Amino acid sequence: MNELIAQSIRRSVWHGWGDPSARRPLSDQGWEELVRQVGADRTVVNPPVPIEEVQLQPSRLDSPVLAALADVVGPDHVHADRPWRVEHAGGKSYPDLHRLRTGDGSQAPDAVVVPGSAAQVAEVLRLCAEHRVAVVPFGGGTSVVGGVGAGAEVSGPDGVSARGRHRAVITLDLRRLTRVVAVDPTSRLATLEAGLRGPEIEQALHPHGLTLGHYPQSHQEATFGGYVATRSAGQASTGYGRVDEIVLGARVVTPRGELVLGGRAPASAAGPRLLDLVVGSEGTLGVITEATVRVAPLPTVKRHAAWFFPTFDAATEALRTLVHSVGHGGMPDVCRLSDEDETRVNLTLAGAAGRRLLRYAALRGTAAPSLLVLVWEGTDGGEVRHRRAVAGRILSRCGGRRLPGEVARAWERTRFSGPYLRDELMDHRVLAETLETATTWDNLRSLHAAVTTAIRSALEVEGRRAIVMCHVSHVYAAGASLYYTFISTEAADPLAQWRSVKTAACDAIVGAGGTITHHHAVGTDHRAYLAAEIGPLGVGLLQAVKDQLDPAGILNPGKLIPDPPGSAPDSAPDRVRDRVRDAARAEA
């Protein structure tokens, strides 16, 4: 039952997602739909350039520094060769992949350093601060917000230049920090090193009858440290909790020394929870080397369910009623509700079975249904059945219509494979990207409408058409997340096209009162919008924290923390910058 979550894959290919041999190509019928819906052309072929053709600047790390780094981590663990530099030249966002596929290696570090212990991390940071070398912490490399690029120009023409302020940039790859420090079944806690990838965590915990329960779509590649550093949430976080809900402590190596936070108690009133400065710090404040998290019993029972609702609005209202009736703890572990567009697209692309479901809905008078997929997990069959039965009664009362559980099992079998499809689409000059937000229940519908419209309007220019679809993937007592996928044919300048959509979506999110990111983090792509969310005083606070821990500013420059208002323009759209400046003036 738990095989998939413990299944390791090899490290990701440099120009796309995961292990290309695991790709499941889109069916002919799927392609027909894409042709019909966005005018994709399967005969257009645009593969990535060979790795030899990726343009790299010469490494600017001089031999004495390289030698000093090698003294710390060992000569086998400092890499300035082409494959290592290219493999660390960005994350997995559309712009990151587009750049690499077209031979742009400007995001590559000058070298990749692979420390073997927290002590080595500390020594590397000391060396880098001394030699003005920037450091980009790197876990699984699956950032989709520009969080791990090392280059001069990240998300806009005037983006902060890491290279400009530093003599060189290294990427600090944490893959060797894979110790399982402690497993405490009594307190249901595990202390794990940062470099463990999702399946490796599960492999370590399953023999104890435990699971982390944290399965983002990047689960097979992403690392434990990355989860903590990005405030991650996984597909089952409605049940098992977001990483910020389950983390109890962390060790963080900073240029000023090691921060050891939490771990003594499940809760405390000993002042502000400094651990929450570390969770979500995205490598800008320190390098998380290990953390202590709550773990859960490995499920021995699973129940699946799927429901149709006449509209997305009716379905979100049903989810709200459900969480308010059963409480957060009584919710299904996985709770995933597609809007009308995503339901239609996914079921259409899913082949004959999917189309049968759509016809079934139409026969029952629902032209554009909204599909809800639920999974309950547990170790007590009676309790799991009870939770499912209670939910079933509530959803039924809210206008839901039950579908075969197989619909949910089908989702589960392919839960980690979605991103592979983007590589195939990019091979044919089709743009595909995702973004997400969250808000309170009272604001969910208007945010959903505003962001959908913004993305569609930005894509459907110059005669192009777009698929814009959305699902709720995380449900809380106070609200829910919204996760968008959009697909269209590439414009002449795909990066400019991507940026126009991203800007439109972010503006809509900020304007309609959502958070700029629910679980993808900030990176470079959302950086300019953070000020609209925490205010100029909040930005100043983050910067003060950074100055305290990283006075030389070597850690992941250009990520997370917006430039102060009035400094050189960054990639923020003017009106967001203006809004922040106005707020600063109003404050002064």
CA distance 437 to 512: 11
249 beta partners? 262, 292
Which residues are CB-neighbours of 274 under 8 A, at least 6 positions away? 259, 261
Candidate residues 121, 335, 361, 542; the one interacting with its own copies per rule CB under 8 A: 542
Residue 288: CB minimum distance to its own copies, A: 12
**Angle at the Cα of 198 from the Cα atoms of 196 and 203, rounded to 5 degrees:** 80
CA distance 151 to 157: 12
Q: Applying CB under 8 A, does 545 fall inside the site for its own copies?
A: yes
Residue 5: CB minimum distance to its own copies, A: 20
Which one-letter amino acid corresponds to residue 240? Y
Binding span for its own copies by CB under 8 A among 39-47, 96-104, 323-331, 574-582: 323-331
Candidate residues 53, 62, 442, 582; the one interacting with its own copies per rule CB under 8 A: 442
Candidate residues 26, 124, 177, 277; the one interacting with its own copies per rule CB under 8 A: 277
Query: Could you tell me the end-to-end alpha-carbon distance of the chain, in angstroms, rounded to an integer?
Result: 58
Nearer to its own copies, 343 or 437 (CB): 437
Residue 51: CB minimum distance to its own copies, A: 32
Q: Applying CB under 8 A, does 449 fall inside the site for its own copies?
A: no
Candidate residues 61, 261, 398, 430; the one interacting with its own copies per rule CB under 8 A: 261
HSE-up (13 A, CA, CB side) for residue 266: 5
Q: Which alpha helices (DSSP H) does 111-236 contain, by range?
A: 118-130, 162-165, 198-205, 224-229
Candidate residues 297, 405, 418, 511; the one interacting with its own copies per rule CB under 8 A: 297
**Contact by Cβ (8 Å): 472, 514:** no
> Measured between alpha carbons, how far is residue 468 from residues 28, 214, 216 in Å?
21, 27, 21
Of residues 199-238, which lie at the interface with its own copies (CB under 8 A)?
230-233
Candidate residues 50, 64, 157, 266; the one interacting with its own copies per rule CB under 8 A: 266
Nearer to its own copies, 269 or 492 (CB): 269
**Contact by Cβ (8 Å): 134, 111:** no
Enter the DSSP assignment of 272. Answer: S
Residue 402: CB minimum distance to its own copies, A: 22
Q: Applying CB under 8 A, does 520 fall inside the site for its own copies?
A: yes
Number of residues forming the site for its own copies (CB under 8 A): 95
Q: Applying CB under 8 A, does 386 fall inside the site for its own copies?
A: yes
Nearest to 523, CA basis, from 554, 489, 484, 562: 562
Residue 270: CB minimum distance to its own copies, A: 5
Nearest to 508, CA basis, from 472, 545, 482: 482
Which one-letter amino acid corresponds to residue 406? E
Of residues 346-385, which lie at the interface with its own copies (CB under 8 A)?
380, 383
Residue 306: CB minimum distance to its own copies, A: 24
Residue 85: CB minimum distance to its own copies, A: 28
Residue 446: CB minimum distance to its own copies, A: 12
Nearer to its own copies, 182 or 353 (CB): 182
Candidate residues 85, 92, 166, 242; the one interacting with its own copies per rule CB under 8 A: 242
Task: Tell me which H or E stretch contains 147.
Answer: none
Q: Applying CB under 8 A, does 585 fall inside the site for its own copies?
A: no
CA 346 to chain centre: 21
Quick note: the x/- pattern for its own copies over 456-485, rule CB under 8 A, is ------------------x-xxxxxx----
Q: Applying CB under 8 A, does 328 fall inside the site for its own copies?
A: yes
Nearest to 380, CA basis, from 303, 321, 475: 303
Q: Applying CB under 8 A, does 541 fall inside the site for its own copies?
A: yes
Residue 22: CB minimum distance to its own copies, A: 27
Q: Applying CB under 8 A, does 316 fall inside the site for its own copies?
A: no
Helix, strand or coil, per DSSP, at residue 466: strand
Of residues 143-172, which lie at the interface with its own copies (CB under 8 A)?
none
Nearer to its own copies, 347 or 472 (CB): 472
CA distance 143 to 135: 16
Q: Applying CB under 8 A, does 281 fall inside the site for its own copies?
A: yes
Beta strands in 70-132 (DSSP E): 78-79, 111-113
Which one-letter amino acid corresponds to residue 62? D
